Structure 1
Amino acid sequence: MRIALLEDELEQAQNIQAVLSERGHVCDSFPTGQSFLGAVLHRSYDLMILDWQIPDMTGIAVLENVRANLNWPLPAIFLTQRDSETDIVRALDAGADDYIAKPARAAELVARINALARRSNPETDKEVLVYGPFEVNTHQRSIELHGEPLTLTDKDFDLTLFLFQNQGRLLTREMLLERVWGLTRDINTRTVDTHMSRLRRRLGLNPENGFRIKTIYQRGYRLEAIKPSDETPTESAQTADA
C-alpha cells in the first residue's frame, strides 16, 4: 500500500516509516498540513495516517479538507496523543475510519492498517466481480461484456481489474506503472498511455456500457461510472483519444 503520513516530529515519522517499510508498504511523510494536502489531493494514496497537532493547522482541518476535495473516500487513521472520548468522537465525526493513541505499538498499527484496507476493499477475495455489464472472473482471469468474453492480454486484465477496483479515483501514471507493471517511476509513462488507449477500444468503455476512462491532464486517469446523458459531445471528444 502507498500511505501518506502527517507527522511533524521527524523521529516519530522515521520510526513509523521504518515499521511500514518492513511490512512492504510505501510511506511518504509530511510535516505540515499544507504539504500533506498538496500531495494527497494530487497523487494517489491508499490510506492516510494523521497526527492531530501540527504546526500550521489541525489534523481535523486536514481531514475535513481531504473529505471535501477528494472525490473518493481515502481511508484515514488518526495517530495522536489526544485520547479523550471527546477527541475520538470528533475525529470520527470528521470522517476518520480509526483512531490510535500514541505511542502506537508497531504490530497494532500494522494490524489496524490491514483491517482498514480489507474493509475499504471488500471485493478483494471474491471470485466473480460485476460492474454493470462487465463480469470479471479473478480466478480464471477473464472478463465478459454483456455475457460475451473479451480477448485481453494478461496485462490488459490486470489493468482493467485495477481500474474497476478503484472507480472514481485518480490514478497517476506512476502509480499504474508500479501497481500493474511492477516498474519504478523512472520508466517512460507512455507505456500507460498506450495501454489505456487500447483498453478503451477493447473494453468498449463508452456511455452505452456505463463507464469511461477520463484523462486528467498531466496527472493520470480516472475510471468513471456514467449514464449516457452524463456525457456531452465535448466530453466525448476529449476522452476519445489519450
Structure 2
Amino acid sequence: MRIALLEDQLEQARNIENLLRERDHQCNSFQTGQSFLSAVTHRSYDLLILDWQIPDMTGIDVLKHVRAQLNWPIPVVFLTQRDSEQDIVQALDAGADDYLAKPARPAELMARINALVRRSNPEVDREALEYGPFRIDTKARTIHLHNEPLTLTDKDFDLTLFLFQNKGRLLTREMLLERVWGVTRDINTRTVDTHMSRLRRRLGIKPENGYRIKTIYQRGYRLESMDELGAETENAVDDESLS
C-alpha cells in the first residue's frame, strides 16, 4: 500500500515512515501542505495521513483541497496533537475518515489504516472480479468478455486490473506509469497513450459493453461505468475517436 504522510516534525515523520515500512507499506512524507498536495495530485496513493498544524496551511485546509481536487474518496486519517471534541468533529465534517491523537499506539494506527483500506476497496483481495460482462481472475491473470477469453499481454492485464479497481477515478499518466510500469521518470508518457489505445480495442471497452475509457485533456484517463454516469451520457461517443 502506498501512503502519503503530512508531518513537519522530521523525527516524528521518520518514526511513522519506519513503522509503515516495517509492515511492507511504501510511505512518502512531506513537511508542507503545498508539497503534499502537489504529490497527491500527480502520484497514486492508497491512503493519506495528515497532521493539523503545519507551516504553510492547516491540515483542514489540505483536506479540503484533497476532497476538491481528487475525484475519488481516498481514505484520510488525521494524526495530530489536537484532541478536543470540537477538533475531531471539525476534521470529520471536513471529510476525514478517522482521527487519532498523538502519540498513536503503533498497533492501533495500523489496525485503523488496514480497516480504512478494506472499506475503501473491498475488492482488493478478491481473486474473481466481475464488472458487467467483464470477468477478471487475478490469480490466473485472465480476463473474459461475455465468457470469451481475451488475449492480453502481462502489461495489458496489469493496466486493465488497475483501471477497473479504480473505476471513476482520474488516473494521470504519471500515476499509471508508477503503478503499472513501476517507474516515476525517464520514460515517455506516450507509452501510456499507446497501451490505452490498444486496450480499448483488445478489451472492447465501449459504451455497449457498459464502460468507456474517457480521455481527460492534458491530465490522463478515467474508466467510467455507463450505468453510473446516468441518463445524460446515454448518447456519449466513445473516446476511441480521440486517441
Query: What TM-score do the two structures reach when normalised by structure 2?
Result: 0.85
Give the superposition deviation at 1:229: 5.2
**Within 1, Cα distance between the matches of 2:7 and 2:136?**
39
Secondary structure (helix, strand or coil) at the match of 1:41 reads helix
Determine if contact 2:200/2:240 at 8 Å carries over to the other structure.
Answer: no
Give the superposition deviation at 1:221: 2.4
Determine if contact 2:49/2:77 at 8 Å carries over to the other structure.
Answer: yes
Map 1:66-81 onto structure 2 (within 5 A): 66-81=66-81
CA RMSD after TM alignment: 2.5
**Within 2, Cα distance between the matches of 1:197 and 1:165?**
19
Give the superposition deviation at 1:49: 0.5
Determine if contact 1:6/1:32 at 8 Å carries over to the other structure.
Answer: yes
| Corresponding residue for residue 87 of structure 1 | 87
| Corresponding residue for residue 216 of structure 1 | 216
Determine if contact 2:42/2:175 at 8 Å carries over to the other structure.
Answer: no
**Within 1, Cα distance between the matches of 2:136 and 2:198?**
18
Give the superposition deviation at 1:198: 1.0
- The one-letter code sitting in structure 2 at the alignment partner of 1:38 is S
Secondary structure (helix, strand or coil) at the match of 2:160 reads helix
**Within 1, Cα distance between the matches of 2:108 and 2:148?**
46
| Corresponding residue for residue 240 of structure 1 | 241
Say whether 1:31 aligns with 2:41. no
| Corresponding residue for residue 225 of structure 1 | 225
Q: 1:178 to 1:34 in 2, by over 3 A?
A: closer
5+ residue gaps, structure 1: none
**Within 1, Cα distance between the matches of 2:29 and 2:193?**
29
| Corresponding residue for residue 139 of structure 1 | 139
Deviation string, structure 1 residues 161-191 (Cα, Å, up to 9, x no partner): 1110011222233433333334453344433
Deviation string, structure 1 residues 129-167 (Cα, Å, up to 9, x no partner): 221221222233222223332222232222211110011
Determine if contact 1:8/1:30 at 8 Å carries over to the other structure.
Answer: yes
- The one-letter code sitting in structure 2 at the alignment partner of 1:166 is N
- The one-letter code sitting in structure 2 at the alignment partner of 1:5 is L
5+ residue gaps, structure 2: none
- The one-letter code sitting in structure 2 at the alignment partner of 1:240 is S
Say whether 1:110 aligns with 2:110. yes
**Within 1, Cα distance between the matches of 2:23 and 2:36?**
23
Map 1:56-205 onto structure 2 (within 5 A): 56-183=56-183, 185-205=185-205
Determine if contact 1:53/1:59 at 8 Å carries over to the other structure.
Answer: yes
Determine if contact 1:2/1:46 at 8 Å carries over to the other structure.
Answer: yes
Secondary structure (helix, strand or coil) at the match of 1:240 reads helix
Secondary structure (helix, strand or coil) at the match of 1:28 reads strand
**Within 2, Cα distance between the matches of 1:82 and 1:179?**
34
Secondary structure (helix, strand or coil) at the match of 1:129 reads strand
Q: 1:154 to 1:18 in 2, by over 3 A?
A: same
Determine if contact 2:44/2:179 at 8 Å carries over to the other structure.
Answer: no
**Within 2, Cα distance between the matches of 1:142 and 1:169?**
23
Say whether 1:55 aligns with 2:55. yes
Aligned residues: 240
